[in-house]
């Protein structure tokens, strides 16, 4: 699963991956040669008295240290670089996918959970190849090389020593499955926690004034406890898996001492070979323990791929491609039925809005805001059609439709940033003079000049540093600067002062 998932990303970085593998192999070479060198020191120099070999040995050791340190640097650097690149590419892709999804789809998601996926889950996923799979591959190499050397030295002894590996394999597969199941639940709860935090930290003021500190804390504690319990279950499996490896190692060493020891006594192996064997067993066991750890990590990271795929698999609806051509400026709702899930909002609704000022009045929840959202094509109608100058909006390219519409929602939708930027997003091409003009029009100019930072005044998260009227005026300025043929105003006069209201009715 993870191979096909990463295939696309890794293709781009195959040279880096190759360099990571090569540099790792160089860095490890010394470790393999080391026992061979000691074998020569013991058997040839100490016992065989071939002292002239000593100078060569020292030279070899120094050169290997230098090569290992250089390749070690590049290995770590490239591994980190690959991880950060994967993170960047995956998170940008997910963000783009979410931005392209429909409003309806977005409503079915949870913003906090999406944040946890783009940040935490992608971060974990970007480690799978560079930090887990590549290390596993290296450790596999580390196993095979001492294994090959051991087989070369003594086939029979090696078979006896490595036979418990089958047990090791079964154990890891079984534990890995358990870890994957638990971690999938841990990630889900993590998403819930993230949503919870996002939700309640954005209503901080309400929590304060209603003194809900204890109430919300208790809720948080409850959710945290679920997270703790599930993580602990997974942690326990990982710990048992790790500790069982020691039993496996003890088995290997016992077999070696029993069989290898007897061979030394029988003179069928030299003391040098016995010592080298011992080092190779250590060299064999340490990557085995690493593989077991990495395997647990791999299995615990795998569920993030499902969570990322859920975003990647969001269906982008088939959209129309016709360009909107406005002639008379007539918007027509023809027998429209529309519901939010099972909640019917409009039924057999027919109305015509003609060029000029049109008003919609009605009780709360009757569907006034919904009508405006439908005109913007944010939702599809269930029955009937909405046309603009006889062009069904379903057949239109959404960009072309929205280029012709400016809307002020009843909620101003401001984002943290300057007043200037909050207005500019209405029309990214607008000049400073045009923004000046529109601010004068909605009577924001005085407020802006009263601020030391002027246009750079930071409106705060969701516009919290502005009064509701000021926020509404910024939203209004943003819509006016778009200069669209259709301007939709949803309760825009709700909080703005009378003078600005009069300007609106004049326009």
Ligand X SMILES: Nc1ncnc2c1ncn2[C@@H]1O[C@H](COP(=O)(O)OP(=O)(O)OP(=O)(O)O)[C@@H](O)[C@H]1O
Binding site for Mg ion (CB under 5 A): 368-369
Token readout for 199 is 């939700």
Toward ligand X, which CB reaches closer, 4 or 364?
364
Toward ligand X, which CB reaches closer, 86 or 345?
345
The distance of closest approach from Cβ of residue 410 to Mg ion in the complex, given in angstroms and rounded to an integer, is 5
Cα(502)–Cα(493) distance, integer angstroms: 10
Toward Mg ion, which CB reaches closer, 157 or 407?
407
55: partner contacted, choices Mg ion, ligand X, none (Cβ within 5-8 A by kind): none
356: partner contacted, choices ligand X, Mg ion, none (Cβ within 5-8 A by kind): none
Toward ligand X, which CB reaches closer, 343 or 450?
343
4: partner contacted, choices ligand X, Mg ion, none (Cβ within 5-8 A by kind): none
The distance of closest approach from Cβ of residue 378 to ligand X in the complex, given in angstroms and rounded to an integer, is 9
Cα(484)–Cα(331) distance, integer angstroms: 14
Find the DSSP H helices in 266-397: 271-312, 368-375
> Which residue, chain included where needed, has tokens 């191979």?
3
471: partner contacted, choices Mg ion, ligand X, none (Cβ within 5-8 A by kind): none
The distance of closest approach from Cβ of residue 364 to Mg ion in the complex, given in angstroms and rounded to an integer, is 8
The distance of closest approach from Cβ of residue 374 to Mg ion in the complex, given in angstroms and rounded to an integer, is 13
Ramachandran quadrant class, 381 (left: phi over 0; alpha: psi -120 to 50; beta: rest): beta
366: partner contacted, choices ligand X, Mg ion, none (Cβ within 5-8 A by kind): ligand X
- SS3 for 387? strand
Toward ligand X, which CB reaches closer, 373 or 392?
373
291: partner contacted, choices Mg ion, ligand X, none (Cβ within 5-8 A by kind): none
63: partner contacted, choices ligand X, Mg ion, none (Cβ within 5-8 A by kind): none
Query: With 0-12 CB in 10 A as exposed, 13-18 as middle and 19+ as buried, what is 37?
Result: middle
107: partner contacted, choices Mg ion, ligand X, none (Cβ within 5-8 A by kind): ligand X
If you write DSSP's letter for every residue of 301-332 in order, what string do you get? Answer: HHHHHHHHHHHHTPPPPP---BPP--SS--EE
Among residues 475, 439, 471, the alpha carbon closest in space to that of 454 is found at: 439
The distance of closest approach from Cβ of residue 106 to ligand X in the complex, given in angstroms and rounded to an integer, is 10
Contacts of 483 (CB under 8 A, 6+ apart): 406, 427
343: partner contacted, choices Mg ion, ligand X, none (Cβ within 5-8 A by kind): ligand X
Share in percent of the chain as helix, strand, coil (round to 5): 70, 10, 20
The distance of closest approach from Cβ of residue 483 to ligand X in the complex, given in angstroms and rounded to an integer, is 26
Toward ligand X, which CB reaches closer, 392 or 410?
410
Give residue 51's Cα distance to chain centre: 60
Helix (H) / strand (E) element for 388: namely strand 383-388
Question: Radius of gyration (Cα) for the chain, nearest Å?
Answer: 34
317: partner contacted, choices ligand X, Mg ion, none (Cβ within 5-8 A by kind): none
Toward ligand X, which CB reaches closer, 97 or 368?
368
Residue nearest Mg ion by beta-carbon distance: 369
Toward ligand X, which CB reaches closer, 212 or 314?
314
Toward Mg ion, which CB reaches closer, 123 or 495?
495
User: Contact at 8 Å (CB) between 493 and 412?
Assistant: no
The distance of closest approach from Cβ of residue 366 to Mg ion in the complex, given in angstroms and rounded to an integer, is 9
The distance of closest approach from Cβ of residue 168 to ligand X in the complex, given in angstroms and rounded to an integer, is 54
User: Contact at 8 Å (CB) between 336 and 381?
Assistant: yes
Toward ligand X, which CB reaches closer, 137 or 411?
411
The distance of closest approach from Cβ of residue 112 to ligand X in the complex, given in angstroms and rounded to an integer, is 18
Cα(346)–Cα(154) distance, integer angstroms: 84
Toward ligand X, which CB reaches closer, 263 or 376?
376
Contacts of 438 (CB under 8 A, 6+ apart): 423, 477, 480, 481
- From first CA to last CA, the distance across the chain in angstroms is 59
Binding residues for ligand X, rule: CB under 6 A, are: 107, 340, 343, 345, 362, 364-370, 410
User: Contact at 8 Å (CB) between 389 and 325?
Assistant: yes
The distance of closest approach from Cβ of residue 388 to Mg ion in the complex, given in angstroms and rounded to an integer, is 21
Toward Mg ion, which CB reaches closer, 369 or 395?
369
User: Contact at 8 Å (CB) between 201 and 461?
Assistant: no
The distance of closest approach from Cβ of residue 359 to ligand X in the complex, given in angstroms and rounded to an integer, is 13
Beta strands in 367-451 (DSSP E): 383-388, 391-392, 405-408
Contacts of 339 (CB under 8 A, 6+ apart): 345, 346, 382
Cα(389)–Cα(392) distance, integer angstroms: 8
365: partner contacted, choices Mg ion, ligand X, none (Cβ within 5-8 A by kind): ligand X
The distance of closest approach from Cβ of residue 364 to ligand X in the complex, given in angstroms and rounded to an integer, is 4
367: partner contacted, choices Mg ion, ligand X, none (Cβ within 5-8 A by kind): ligand X
Cα(81)–Cα(1) distance, integer angstroms: 23
């Amino acid at each position: 699963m993870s191979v096909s998932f990463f295939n696309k990303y890794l293709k781009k970085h195959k040279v880096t991956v190759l360099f990571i593998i090569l540099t790792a192999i160089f860095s490890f070479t010394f470790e393999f040669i080391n026992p061979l060198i000691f074998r020569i020191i013991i058997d040839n120099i100490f016992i065989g008295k071939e002292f002239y070999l000593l100078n060569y040995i020292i030279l070899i050791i120094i050169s290997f240290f230098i090569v290992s340190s250089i390749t070690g640097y590049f290995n770590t650097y490239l591994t980190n670089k690959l991880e950060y690149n994967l993170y960047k590419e995956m998170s940008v892709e997910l963000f783009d996918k979410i931005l392209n999804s429909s409003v309806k789809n977005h409503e079915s998601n949870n913003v906090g959970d999406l944040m946890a996926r783009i940040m935490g889950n992608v971060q974990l996923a970007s480690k799978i190849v560079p930090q887990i799979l590549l290390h596993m591959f290296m450790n596999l190499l580390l196993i095979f090389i001492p294994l090959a050397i051991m087989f070369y030295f003594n086939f029979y002894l090696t078979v006896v020593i490595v036979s418990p590996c089958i047990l090791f394999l079964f154990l890891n597969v079984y534990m890995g499955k358990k870890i994957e199941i638990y971690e999938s639940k841990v990630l889900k709860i993590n998403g819930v926690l993230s949503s919870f935090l996002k939700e309640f930290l954005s209503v901080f003021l309400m929590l304060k004034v209603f003194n809900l500190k204890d109430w919300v804390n208790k809720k948080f504690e409850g959710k945290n406890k679920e997270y703790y319990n599930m993580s602990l279950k997974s942690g326990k499996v990982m710990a048992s898996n790790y500790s069982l490896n020691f039993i496996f190692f003890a088995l290997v060493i016992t077999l070696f001492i029993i069989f290898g020891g007897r061979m030394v006594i029988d003179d069928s192996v030299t003391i040098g070979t016995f010592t080298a064997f011992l080092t190779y067993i250590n060299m064999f066991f340490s990557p085995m323990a690493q593989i077991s750890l990495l395997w647990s990590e791999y299995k615990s990271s795998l569920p993030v791929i499902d969570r990322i795929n859920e975003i990647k698999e969001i269906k982008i609806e088939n959209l129309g491609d016709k360009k909107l051509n406005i002639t008379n400026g007539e918007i027509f709702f023809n027998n429209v039925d529309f519901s939010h899930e099972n909640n019917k909002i409009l039924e057999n609704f027919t109305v015509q809005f003609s060029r000029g000022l049109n008003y919609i009045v009605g009780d709360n929840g009757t569907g006034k805001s919904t009508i405006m959202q439908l005109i913007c094509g944010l939702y599809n109608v269930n029955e009937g059609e909405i046309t603009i100058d006889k062009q069904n909006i379903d057949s239109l390219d959404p960009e072309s439709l929205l280029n012709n519409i400016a809307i002020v929602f009843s909620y101003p939708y401001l984002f943290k940033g300057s007043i200037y930027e909050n207005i500019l997003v209405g029309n990214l091409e607008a000049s400073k003079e045009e923004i000046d003009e529109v601010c004068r029009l909605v009577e924001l100019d005085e407020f802006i000049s009263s601020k030391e930072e002027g246009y750079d005044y930071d409106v705060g998260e969701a516009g919290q540093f502005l009064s509701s009227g000021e926020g509404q005026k910024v939203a209004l300025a943003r819509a006016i600067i778009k200069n669209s043929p259709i301007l939709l105003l949803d309760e825009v006069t709700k909080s703005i002062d009378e003078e600005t209201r009069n300007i609106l009715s004049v326009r």
